[in-house]
């Protein structure tokens, strides 16, 4: 009897789970992801199936539940489900990339972006390059100032625009009794408006724009013609008040147009190119109003949503759909186009590299073409959804973001900088810190990070001009008789910027120069400015050639092959400056007897001198030598380390006559 009861309980439990799964799937298939997730959660905890885990990930992705989505996606991509087959749909790699970005874990996020693109057969970005690019977006100097607008509510608001003294926007704020949208469990979207005075202060409460424009379902993004008498709008597919569904029982978004007649809007008409089985949304007019841009998932799209345009003919008909292709569109989403009066295309995308979910990009209109999109960076973009950016004058406008809330809020912006990279004229000067005079012969390097932008030896007028884009650069300069100095320079969005790097005289070199004749001073100054090795250094009030070590085999004094090239360079220098005389001094460490070390150092110094003379470039009278053994150590020590011994074993090349 107990066995039969147990079997009945198992059957009941299985039937209950099956019924719960069916109900969850019904919610899921109808777009009610909130209720679907509530039912999938206990099923997942019991059966740990891949199917349920994938659907949970979809539910949380579509309802912006970031922590829950990360939990589900993390379990999915690491195979923490019961099935032996660990394959999962590639789209979840992209979703996980987005949510990891939204949590700020860009290092890990880019790994999953690379997985996604590789699986699609698309060349992925190099990880280090992608990381640097994201850091640039995040840390770049802002071209905008933003603030949240006062007319936001607890509902979602987006797609704001200002026309004359009226602000319009879309929102799902509640206005009257009616059904809620299954996806959000909130009212359907409508278009609202309110008045604003010259000081940009709100002077009326937001109200629905028109009963003819707003329907019982969605009215989303919209745009007006310049004269304000035509409006294009995204709207749920309705014909004569009847809701139109596609083959999958989905009511898609379509594009409509309405005309203002005698101050009132007419019944919106669906544009002829709409197809019931696809979405068409987010209309935007070109400056000459001859093109209508929009986003669609129509067959043939590069990604899930692409930006298209149609030509508006003079008779009011529309041309064929044109896809903006791979310059703008990616394998993911491009939406919310807006075309500025200059023809530049602003749009939202999660397919171009960004800071998180949707980011706002701009493509400059140059010579009749759109150029590679630029990420606007912070503060316009955040780790969350940022979209529907539109200007209402040359510098000001609105955009929307859900960075502070699950629901979308509208932000106002002011453009304070140049969003497209421009180069500006910059002048650089190298001057003496005491006399303010130019430092002739200065060797300068201008770098951006590790890239050499400009490198030269300046003439008597130590000045140069470079056209530079705004960024941080490093200028360094060295000159004979001066200490080397560098300085960080911030290039601004201004022409004719002037930058002066002041060099201080090297007191040790000045002391040496002051003891010499005018002719010798000229030779020393030329030597100090000579870039070819070996250079000269000051030590204890004397000038030396800065030479690499001259190595000898143990207990030997013959010149080794690795030292011959070093001595050849020195010989060339002496040929170039025929008035110079040098003294070679050789030193040993303190291992061995003082007498032995003195003899060994003499032999090494003499061998070095003889090698140079035997090459035929330098006369013997110009090169003297002396061996000091262990008598003049650089480091005085008894139990010396090997490093200290190495410092004490050396050859020095002092300039004794100029």
Both tokens assigned to 88: 């999962």
CB neighbours of 30 closer than 8 A, spacing ≥ 6? Answer: 182
Q: Indicate the pLDDT class of residue 12, thresholds 50, 70 and 90.
A: very low
Distances in whole angstroms, Cα of residue 600 to Cα of each of 9, 192, 547, 558, 594: 101, 97, 20, 11, 10
Both tokens assigned to 472: 């941080």
Lowest mean pLDDT among 7-21, 99-113, 325-339: 7-21
The CB-based long-range contact list for 65-71 (8 Å cut-off, 24+ gap) reads 65/37, 66/99, 66/102, 66/103, 68/37, 69/95, 69/99, 70/96, 70/99, 70/100, 70/103
For the segment(s) 508-657, the CATH number from 3.40.350.10, 3.30.1330.60, 3.40.190.10, 3.30.1490.20 is 3.30.1330.60
pLDDT at 537: 85
Q: Indicate the pLDDT class of residue 555, thresholds 50, 70 and 90.
A: confident
Q: Indicate the pLDDT class of residue 437, thresholds 50, 70 and 90.
A: very high
Interval 332-357: pLDDT, tens: 999 999 999 999 999 999 999 999 89
pLDDT at 521: 82
pLDDT at 17: 59
**Predicted confidence (pLDDT) at residue 199 exceeds the cutoff of 50:** yes
**Residue 14: exposure state from Cβ atoms within 10 A (0-12, 13-18, ≥19):** exposed
Interval 483-539: pLDDT, tens: 899 999 998 888 889 999 999 988 777 777 777 788 888 888 888 878 788 988 888
Interval 105-130: pLDDT, tens: 899 999 999 999 999 888 888 888 88
Mean pLDDT confidence for 615-642: 91
**Predicted confidence (pLDDT) at residue 7 exceeds the cutoff of 80:** no
Q: For strand 536-539 and strand 542-545, is the pairing parallel, antiparallel, or unpaired?
A: antiparallel
The pair phi, psi for residue 54, each rounded to 5°, is -65, -40
Mean pLDDT confidence for 74-97: 92
424-505 classified as CATH 1.20.120.530: no
pLDDT at 3: 55
**Predicted confidence (pLDDT) at residue 576 exceeds the cutoff of 90:** yes
pLDDT at 259: 95
Mean pLDDT confidence for 226-253: 91
Lowest mean pLDDT among 124-133, 157-166, 472-481: 124-133
CA nearest neighbour of 144 among 328, 346, 311: 346
Class of domain 2-139: mainly alpha
CATH 2.60.40.1120 boundaries in the chain? 424-505
Distances in whole angstroms, Cα of residue 589 to Cα of each of 81, 246, 600, 625, 641: 70, 92, 11, 18, 11
- Which has the higher per-residue pLDDT, 300 or 621? 621
Distances in whole angstroms, Cα of residue 302 to Cα of each of 130, 317, 461, 470: 22, 26, 57, 34
pLDDT at 436: 93
pLDDT at 527: 83
**Predicted confidence (pLDDT) at residue 9 exceeds the cutoff of 50:** no
Please give the Cα distance from 202 to 199 (Å, whole number): 9
pLDDT at 8: 45
Tell me the pLDDT of the chain averaged across its residues. Answer: 90
CATH 1.25.40.10 boundaries in the chain? 2-139
**Predicted confidence (pLDDT) at residue 11 exceeds the cutoff of 50:** no
């Amino acid at each position: 009897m107990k066995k039969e009861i147990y079997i009945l309980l198992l059957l009941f439990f299985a039937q209950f789970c099956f019924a719960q799964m069916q109900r969850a799937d019904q919610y899921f298939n109808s777009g009610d992801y909130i209720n679907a997730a509530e039912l999938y959660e206990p099923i997942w905890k019991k059966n740990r199936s891949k199917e349920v885990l994938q659907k949970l990930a979809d539910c949380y992705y579509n309802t912006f539940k970031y922590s829950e989505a990360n939990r589900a996606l993390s379990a999915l991509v690491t195979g923490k489900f019961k099935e032996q087959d660990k394959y999962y749909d590639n789209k979840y790699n992209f979703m996980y990339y987005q949510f990891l970005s939204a949590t700020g874990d860009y290092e890990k996020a880019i790994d999953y972006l690379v997985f996604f693109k590789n699986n699609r057969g698309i060349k992925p970005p190099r990880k280090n390059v992608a990381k640097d690019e994201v850091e640039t977006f995040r840390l770049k100097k802002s071209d905008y100032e933003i603030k949240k607008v006062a007319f936001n509510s607890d509902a979602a608001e987006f797609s704001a625009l200002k026309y004359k003294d009226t602000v319009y926007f879309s929102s799902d704020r509640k206005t009257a009794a009616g059904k809620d949208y299954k996806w959000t469990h909130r009212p359907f979207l409508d278009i609202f408006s309110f008045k604003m005075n010259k000081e940009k202060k709100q002077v009326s409460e937001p109200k629905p724009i028109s009963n003819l424009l707003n329907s019982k379902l969605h009215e989303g993004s919209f745009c007006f013609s310049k004269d304000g008498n035509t409006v294009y709008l995204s709207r749920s597919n309705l014909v004569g008040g009847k809701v139109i569904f596609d083959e999958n029982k989905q009511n898609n978004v379509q594009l409509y147009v309405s005309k203002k007649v005698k101050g009132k809007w007419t019944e919106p008409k669906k544009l002829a190119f709409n197809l019931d089985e696809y979405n068409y949304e987010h209309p935007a007019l070109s400056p000459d109003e001859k093109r209508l841009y929009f986003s669609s998932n129509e067959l043939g799209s590069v990604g899930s949503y692409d930006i298209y345009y149609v030509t508006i003919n003079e008779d009011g008909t529309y041309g064929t759909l044109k896809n903006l292709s791979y310059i703008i569109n990616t394998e993911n989403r491009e939406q919310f186009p807006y075309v500025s009066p200059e023809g530049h295309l602003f749009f939202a995308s999660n397919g171009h590299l960004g800071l998180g979910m949707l980011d706002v990009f701009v493509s400059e209109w140059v010579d009749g073409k759109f150029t590679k999109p630029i990420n606007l960076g912070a503060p316009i973009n955040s780790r969350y959804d940022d979209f529907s950016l539109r200007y209402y004058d040359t510098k000001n406008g609105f955009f929307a973001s859900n960075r502070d809330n699950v629901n979308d809020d509208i932000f106002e912006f002011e453009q304070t900088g140049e969003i497209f990279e421009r180069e500006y004229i910059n002048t650089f000067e190298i001057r003496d810190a005491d006399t303010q005079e130019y430092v002739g012969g200065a060797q300068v390097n201008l770098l951006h990070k590790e890239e050499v932008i400009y490198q030269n030896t300046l003439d008597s007028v130590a000045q140069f001009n470079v056209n530079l884009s705004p960024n941080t650069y490093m200028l360094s300069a060295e000159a004979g008789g001066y200490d080397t100095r560098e300085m960080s320079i911030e290039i601004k969005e201004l022409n004719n910027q002037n930058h002066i790097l002041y060099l201080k005289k090297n007191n040790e070199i000045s002391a040496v120069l002051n003891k010499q004749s005018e002719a010798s001073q000229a030779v020393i100054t030329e030597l100090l400015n000579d870039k070819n090795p070996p250079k000269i250094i000051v030590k204890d009030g004397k000038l030396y050639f800065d030479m690499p070590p001259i190595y000898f085999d143990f207990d030997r004094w013959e010149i080794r092959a690795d030292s011959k090239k070093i001595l050849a360079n020195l010989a060339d220098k002496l040929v170039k400056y025929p008035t110079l005389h040098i003294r070679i001094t050789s030193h040993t460490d303190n291992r061995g007897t003082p007498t032995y070390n003195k003899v060994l150092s003499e032999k090494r110094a003499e061998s070095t001198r003889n090698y140079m003379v035997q090459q035929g470039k330098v006369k013997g009278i110009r090169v003297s030598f002396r061996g000091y053994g262990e008598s003049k150590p650089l480091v005085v020590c008894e139990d010396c380390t090997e490093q200290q011994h190495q410092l004490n074993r050396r050859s020095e090349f002092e300039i004794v006559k100029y």
